[in-house]
Amino acid sequence: MSKHFKQDWTPRQDSKENPARRNQTRRAFLALSAGALVALGVGAALAQTPSKNDAASTNGGTLGNDNAAKTPAAPDAPNDPRAAQLAVDPNAQTEWNYKNNGEKIVYLTFDDGPSKNTQRVLDILDQYGAKATFFVVGHDPDHYDMIKKAYDDGNTIGLHSFTHDYAQVYSSEDAYFNDLDQIAQVVSDQIGYVPYLVRFPGGSSNTISEKYCSGIMDVLVNDVPARGYQYYDWNASSGDGATCSTDQVIQNSCAYDNYPNIILLCHDAATKDTTVEALPKIIEHYQALGYQFQAIDRTTMVPHHKVAN
């Protein structure tokens, strides 16, 4: 409130004036003047008095609307247009596409990184103007910074597993989500949010999980999407999950020329040197056929295997 409006607007009463000498006209005049001044003063004071909500604003939000004060502030969104599209959101109404869109696109997917090989993969992708998707694990904290590097290069980050220990991950539904939450935190620490993309260890069609918890995959393929995630299997494989030579990886990976959308399973773990060595030839093969190399997003074809446990 300004200094002007802090004064008392009650009219002054002159105690020296003899009331007996007032005639009726003067009394009426004074009464009218006093009423006008009171009205002016009260109106001005009210105009300058901060409202309850204004008081909250000027006092850092500690006053005013009780509900607003008790509601925690939303975290700052990353300054990144991809965050809204790629962040996990249980309320998102996504029209998933389970069929190819007819366009010639290769979606390279790399599991089990980051590792010492991740930077090598990124360098090759950059050389060819290609993008990929990395389903990461928590094995190698020394290379967690590669998650951010891959993301900043325009690639997509997905969640694979923190431990990738089948016995632990598939021992129960709670164990699975505990593991998922751990790798989600690793990724969030690097890129500022938890992505919606998931790849089950061994894929949704794995049978090894039955050894630890019968029927768990039937449960997870429903509960994972219910929490706002989407899981991605693959429709093409480099075969590098086993021991393969560079030539074998190339041959395996380049066998899908008749697929419009290719979701190619690869690995960028520390032991997968042959995959890195094969990557240039794989990219050259498909680019020569008119394919583009893109990262997965919500518009990408979603490949789901038949669940076997």
Going along 93-233, which residue ranges are E strands? Answer: 105-113, 132-137, 156-161, 197-198, 230-231
Cα 56 vs. chain centroid, distance in angstroms? 31
Whether 212 and 275 share a structural domain: yes
Q: Which pTM value belongs to this model?
A: 0.76
Q: 187 in a domain, yes or no?
A: yes
Please compute Rg for the chain using Cα positions: 34
Whether 124 and 169 share a structural domain: yes
Whether 129 and 262 share a structural domain: yes
Whether 201 and 154 share a structural domain: yes
Q: What is the DSSP code string of 27-68?
A: HHHHHHHHHHHHHHHHHHHHHHSPPHHHHHHHTTTSSS-HHH
Contact of 63 with 27, CB cutoff 8 Å: no
Q: 80 in a domain, yes or no?
A: no
Interatomic CA distance for residues 239 and 136, integer angstroms: 18
Residue 287 belongs to what domain range? 90-293
Q: 308 in a domain, yes or no?
A: no
Whether 99 and 25 share a structural domain: no
Interatomic CA distance for residues 48 and 117, integer angstroms: 66
Q: 217 in a domain, yes or no?
A: yes
Whether 51 and 138 share a structural domain: no
- For helices 118-128 and 273-288, angle between their N-to-C axes, nearest 10 degrees: 20
pLDDT, one tens digit for every residue, the chain (309 residues): 333 333 333 333 333 344 443 444 444 433 444 444 334 343 433 334 343 333 333 333 333 333 333 333 334 445 788 999 999 999 999 999 999 999 999 999 999 999 999 999 999 999 999 999 999 999 999 999 999 999 999 999 999 999 999 999 999 999 999 999 999 999 999 999 999 999 999 999 999 999 999 999 999 999 999 999 999 999 999 999 999 999 999 999 999 999 999 999 999 999 999 999 999 999 999 999 999 999 999 999 999 999 999
Given this model, what pLDDT does residue 231 score?
98
Whether 275 and 126 share a structural domain: yes
Given this model, what pLDDT does residue 70 score?
33
Domains of the chain: total: 2
Whether 100 and 177 share a structural domain: yes
Q: 303 in a domain, yes or no?
A: no
Whether 154 and 209 share a structural domain: yes
Whether 44 and 119 share a structural domain: no
Given this model, what pLDDT does residue 78 score?
52
Given this model, what pLDDT does residue 80 score?
87
Given this model, what pLDDT does residue 79 score?
75
What's 288's domain CATH number?
A: 3.20.20.370
Given this model, what pLDDT does residue 174 score?
98
